Structure 1
Amino acid sequence: MADASEGDDAAVADDAAEADDATESAGSAEAVKAADVDPEDAPISGEALLVQEGEIAGDYLEQLLDILDYDGDIDLDVEGSRAIVAIVGADDLDPLVGARGVTLDALQELTRLTVAQQTGVRTRLMLDVGGYRAGRRTELSALAASSVSRVIDTGEMLRMTPMNAFERKIVHDVVTATDGVRSESEGEEPDRRVVILPDR
C-alpha cells in the first residue's frame, strides 16, 4: 500500500511539474508575442488619445473648410476628459453655427463619427465655431442662475425653453451647485427642456 501511495504522489508531482512547464511555455510564448508588437501599433489611451482625436478632427475640418471655401483657423486643446476643437479667425462663421446651433451640432456629430472611424473608440470631442459655445455657456449660466433664484423665492417649479444636450448640461450644472433646488429633463428632442424644481 505504501508503494502505491508513493507512486500516486509521484504521479501527482509529475502532473504538477508538467502543468508548470506548460504554463511557463505559454507565458514565454505570450512574452515573445508581446515583444514582437510594434509600439506604434499598440493602442493609445488617456491624454495621448485625446490629442490624437483633436488632430484627426482638425484635419477633417480643414478639408471641409477648403471644400466650402471658408477661411478659418483650427485650435486644438484638451480639457478634462475630452478633446476641444474650435474653428476661429474667420469673419462670418454664422452659417456653420445655424439657428440655435443646429448646424454646429450636426457638424460636431460628423466630426465625432470621422474620429471614431479612425480610432475605433467612441469620442466625446467638443466642437466650437466662432466662439458660439463659449458665449452660449456664459449666457446660459446667467439665465440658469436667475431661474434658480426665482424657484427658490417662489417655491414653484420652472420649465425652461427647449435646449440641446450641451445647453441642458450647463443648466443642470448650475442647479447642482445650488442648495435648495434640483433639475430634470423632460420631453423629446428637439423640444427637450430642463425643469427646475424646489428640493423638498
Structure 2
Amino acid sequence: MTDTSTPPSAEPSEASASPEAPASSEEVASSEVKKSETVATDGDLFRQSEIAADYIEGLLDILDYDGDIDELVSAGRPMVEVVGGRLQPLVGQRGATLEALQELTRLAIFRATGSPSRLLLDIGGYRAARRKELGAVARNAVEKVKEHGDPVRLEPMSAFERKCVHDVVNAIPGVQSESEGVEPSRRIVVRVAD
C-alpha cells in the first residue's frame, strides 16, 4: 500500500505578510507546526538530521557523487550540510535543485517519524553564500527607500530567501518589509515604516 500523505512544508515564517495576499503553503504549514502541542527535543531534532543524512548519503551513492555529510542541530532545527567538489548540479540554478532535495529529505523524515520537519539542507555552502548576497540586496533596497521614500519591490524569492531579507530589513530602524503575491511569484516589498 502506498502512503499518499504529504507532510506540510515547514519553512521558517516570514516577518510579515501582505493582508491582501493569501497565505502561502509555507506560512500555513509553519503556523500548523507552531500549533502542534508536541515540542521536539534536541534528541528528536538530531534524529531528524540523522535520517536526513542517511537519505542524502543514499542519493549521493546513487548519483556517484562524493561529499562529506555533517548532521547537526542549530537554532532549534535539524540541519544537514554536504561539502565536497562537483556538487553544483545538486544546488541547481538559484538553488532550485537544493530546495527540491530539501523537500524530498523532509518527506523522508516525515515518513520515518510521522512528524513534519523544519530541516535545513545546505550543499557546498550555497545557503551561507546566498545569505550574504541577500543581505546586500536588502541593504541596497533600504538605501533606495530611505533616499527616495518610494517602496521597493524585489524579485520573486523562495521562502528561505525572503526570510533572509526580512531579517536584515527588520533590523534597520525606519523601514519595514512585507511579502506579497503567491508562490512562485511571492516577493518582498521594502517601505518606510509606519
Which of the five TM-score ranges fits, normalised by the shorter chain? Answer: 0.7 to 0.9
User: How far is the alpha carbon of 1:184 from its aligned partner?
Assistant: 1.0
One of 82, 93, 114 as aligned partner of 2:77: 82
Residue 131 of structure 1: aligned partner:
125
Q: Aligned partners of 2:154 and 2:39: how far apart in 1?
A: 41
Residue 66 of structure 1: aligned partner:
61
Residue 159 and residue 111 in structure 1: after superposition, are their counterparts in 2 closer, same or farther (change >3 A)?
same
Write the deviation string for residues 107-146 of structure 1: whole angstroms up to 9, x where unpaired: 0000001011111111100000111011000111122112
Q: Which structure 2 residue ranges, 5 or more long, are not aligned?
A: 1-37
Task: Decide which structure has greater helix share.
Answer: 1
For 1:79-158, what aligned pairs fall within 5 Å after superposition? 79-89=74-84, 91-158=85-152
Specify the SS of the correspondent of 1:77.
strand
CA RMSD of aligned residues (A): 1.4
User: How far is the alpha carbon of 1:44 from its aligned partner?
Assistant: 9.1
| Residue identity opposite 2:89 in structure 1 | P
User: How many pairs were matched up?
Assistant: 157
| Residue identity opposite 2:191 in structure 1 | L
User: How far is the alpha carbon of 1:45 from its aligned partner?
Assistant: 3.5
Q: Aligned partners of 1:174 and 1:183: how far apart in 2?
A: 10
**Regions of 4+ moved over 4 Å:** none
Identity %: 55
TM-score by length of 1: 0.75
For 1:15-54, what aligned pairs fall within 5 Å after superposition? 45-54=40-49
Larger Rg: 1
User: Whose RCO is larger (CA < 8 A, sep 6+)?
Assistant: 2
Write the deviation string for residues 144-164 of structure 1: whole angstroms up to 9, x where unpaired: 112112211211100011111
Q: Which structure 1 residue ranges, 5 or more long, are not aligned?
A: 1-42
Write the deviation string for residues 43-86 of structure 1: whole angstroms up to 9, x where unpaired: 99310011100100011110110001111110112111101101
Specify the SS of the correspondent of 1:59.
helix
Specify the SS of the correspondent of 2:81.
strand
